């Protein structure tokens, strides 16, 4: 495993992180708790130290499973969780008010069975709460020792700049993969300029970049692959096939799995601190971690750059 230093901080973060949205068991199909715990253990055993979760994942289920999995291993992991989403199903709303954050942090600490969160992230930008209110609350949690560092997720450049007026923003978590590259336009360059580490989610396009889908799959309406990721149906699926074809061509030539190639493409990009990859079992977690053991050639990176 390779590690990168969080800018201006005392954390060295694995270039591949474990994502736990699937642990919630509500939007990626059923997840067995035993398998999820084994995935965390396999990730740690293979050098992954950043575990990313959120209260909204299974409405607390993901955090609870992570809490169980890291018992006796807390010193080996960097816990990243989030705040700011409430409700269920189509009724989810954004709330980064001080009062809601106060509730969120206490619930997360209890579920994760820890005294502090290493990286506490605003899940989505809240247009209805003053940024100063949000950041003042997070800075207060830092002073109390309940969180170490402040991160943001799904913020525009303007929102990042506003947040920086009131707090030291260490990371931005953004949607980035071979199939979703919009942050390259302004967010990635800005974060590089300001020394903000970028952590990517959706790094495998919700799993489609594994190359396992030969035909357009059908998922339940509640499955994130039917509403959050746009690569699984219609024109999105047709477009994704071109990129997946390039992945498979490289995979056959260098004898590496397509998913590892997709993760390598991200982690070798300048400005990327870590690429989050979800896993529902120990085998997937170990395979994702192995992508940090080798490098894509500049020629293959360029081939993938041009595949979309």
Bridge partners, residue 52, by sequence = 19, 80
- Number of H helices and number of E strands within the chain? 11, 12
User: Cβ neighbours of residue 256 under 8 Å, at least 6 residues apart?
Assistant: 250, 294
Choice among 57, 120, 125, 201 that is catalytic? 57
First to last CA, the chain: 28
CA distance 195 to 304: 26
Task: Give yes or no: 125 in active site.
Answer: no
Q: Which helix (H) or strand (E) holds 303?
A: helix 298-305
CA atoms within 13 A on the CB side of 287: 16
Maximum Cα interatomic distance, the chain, rounded to a whole number of Å = 54
Rounded distance, CA 72 to CA 13, Å? 20
Which residues make beta-bridge pairs with 200? 174, 275
Residue with tokens 């061509």: 249
Give me the active site residues, please. Answer: 57
């Amino acid at each position: 495993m390779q590690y990168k230093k969080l800018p201006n901080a005392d954390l060295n973060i694995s270039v591949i992180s474990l994502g736990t949205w699937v642990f919630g068991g509500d939007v990626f199909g059923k997840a067995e708790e035993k398998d999820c715990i084994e995935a965390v253990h396999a990730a740690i055993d293979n050098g992954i130290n950043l575990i990313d979760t959120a209260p909204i994942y299974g409405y607390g289920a993901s955090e609870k499973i992570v809490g169980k999995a890291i018992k006796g291993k807390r010193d080996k992991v960097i816990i990243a969780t989030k705040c700011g989403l409430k409700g269920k199903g189509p009724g989810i709303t954004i709330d980064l008010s001080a009062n809601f954050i106060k509730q969120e942090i206490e619930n997360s600490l209890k579920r994760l069975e820890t005294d502090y969160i290493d990286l506490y992230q605003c899940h989505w930008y809240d247009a209805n709460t003053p940024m100063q209110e949000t950041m003042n609350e997070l800075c207060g949690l830092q002073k109390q020792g309940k969180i170490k560092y402040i991160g943001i997720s799904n913020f525009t450049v303007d929102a990042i700049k506003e947040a920086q007026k009131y707090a030291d923003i260490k990371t931005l978590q953004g949607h980035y993969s071979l199939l979703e590259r919009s942050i390259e336009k302004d967010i990635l360059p800005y974060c590089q300029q300001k020394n903000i580490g970028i952590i990517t989610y959706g790094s495998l396009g919700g799993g489609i970049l594994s190359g396992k889908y030969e035909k357009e799959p059908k998922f339940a309406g509640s499955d994130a692959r039917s509403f959050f990721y746009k690569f699984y149906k219609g024109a999105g699926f047709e477009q994704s096939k071109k990129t997946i074809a390039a992945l498979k061509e490289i995979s056959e030539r260098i004898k590496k799995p397509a998913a590892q190639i997709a993760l390598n493409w991200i982690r070798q990009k300048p400005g990327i601190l870590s690429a989050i990859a979800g896993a529902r079992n120990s085998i997937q977690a170990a395979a994702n971690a192995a992508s940090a053991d080798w490098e894509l050639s500049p020629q293959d990176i360029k081939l993938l750059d041009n595949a979309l």
